[in-house]
Amino acid sequence: MLLSLLHNGKPSMSTAVFANSDRHVVLRRILGAGAISIYFSAALPAAAADAPTGGMPGTRAFILSNIYVGNAGETGACGKLTDSAPETFLKSLPSSEQQNYAAPDKHNQLFALMQKQLGFKWIQLAQRNQNKNQLSPYWDKLVIDVAPEHARIEDVREQAGIPEGKGAIVFNHHIVAYDSCTDPQDFPMLNTGFHPYDGKLAFGIDLDGKRGRDQFNSPSGEPGVDNQLWRVLGCMKHFREFGNPENADGTLFSAAAPTLIEISRIDDTNNDSDVSVAVFSSIDPLIADGRGVALANASYTIDTRPELIAHTRGRIVNGVLSTDPVDLTMHYKEQIIDGIRQLRGVRIRATLNADGSIKGGFYGYYMLDSFYDSIKQMTQLGANLSNLSCPVIHSALQRYADGYPDATSGRNTAISSALNFIGVAAFAIQPSAIAEGSRYAH
| Binding site residues, other proteins, CB under 8 A | 11, 14-17, 39-42, 44, 47-55, 287, 289-291, 293, 295-299, 301, 427, 429, 433-434, 436-438, 440-442
Q: Select 252 or 295, whichever has its Cβ closest to other proteins.
A: 295
In the complex, minimum distance from the CB of residue 49 to other proteins, in angstroms, rounded to a whole number:
8
Q: Please, which residue, 143 or 288, has the CB nearer to other proteins?
A: 288
SS3 letters for the chain?
CHHHHHCCCCCCCCCCCCCCHHHHHHHHHHHCHHHCCCCEECCCCCCCCCCCCCCCCCCEEEEEEEEEECCCCCCCCCCCCCCCHHHHHHHHCCHHHHHHHCCHHHHHHHHHHHHHHHCCEEEEEEECCCCHHHCCCCCEEEEECCCHHHCCHHHHHHHHCCCCCCCEEECCCCEEEECCCCCHHHCHHHCCCCCCCCCCECCCCCCCCCCCCCCEECCCCCCCECCHHHHHHCCCHHHHHHCCHHHHCCCCCCCCCCEEEEEECCCCCCCEEEEEEEEEEECCCCCECCCCCECCCEEEEECCCHHHCEEEEEEEECCEEEECCEEEEEEEEECCEEEEEEEEEEEEEEEECCCCCEEEEEEEEEEHHHHHHHHHCCCCCCCCCCCCCHHHHHHHHHHHCCEEECCCCCCEEEEEEEEEEEEEEEEEECHHHHHHHHHHCC
Q: Nearest distance from residue 291's CB to other proteins, in Å?
A: 5
Least distance between other proteins and beta carbon 48 (Å): 4
Least distance in Å: CB of 42 to other proteins?
A: 6
Output 53 or 127, the one with its CB closest to other proteins: 53
Of 83 and 262, which has the nearer Cβ to other proteins? 262
Nearer to other proteins, 226 or 262 (CB): 262
For other proteins, which is the closer residue by CB, 47 or 102? 47
Tell me how far, at minimum, the Cβ of 116 lies from other proteins, in Å. 49
Choice between 147 and 434, CB closer to other proteins: 434
Q: Which is nearer to other proteins, 260 or 378 (CB)?
A: 260
* Radius of gyration of the chain from its Cα atoms, rounded to whole angstroms: 24
Q: Is the dihedral of CA 137, 142, 144, 150 positive or negative?
A: negative
Minimum Å distance from CB 286 to other proteins?
A: 13
Cα distance between residue 300 and residue 427, in whole Å: 6
Measured from the CB of residue 333, what is the shortest distance to other proteins in angstroms? 19
In whole angstroms, the minimum distance from the beta carbon of 53 to other proteins comes to 6
Q: In this complex, which beta carbon is closest to other proteins, that of residue 407 or of residue 441?
A: 441
As measured in angstroms, the least distance from the Cβ of 39 to other proteins is 7
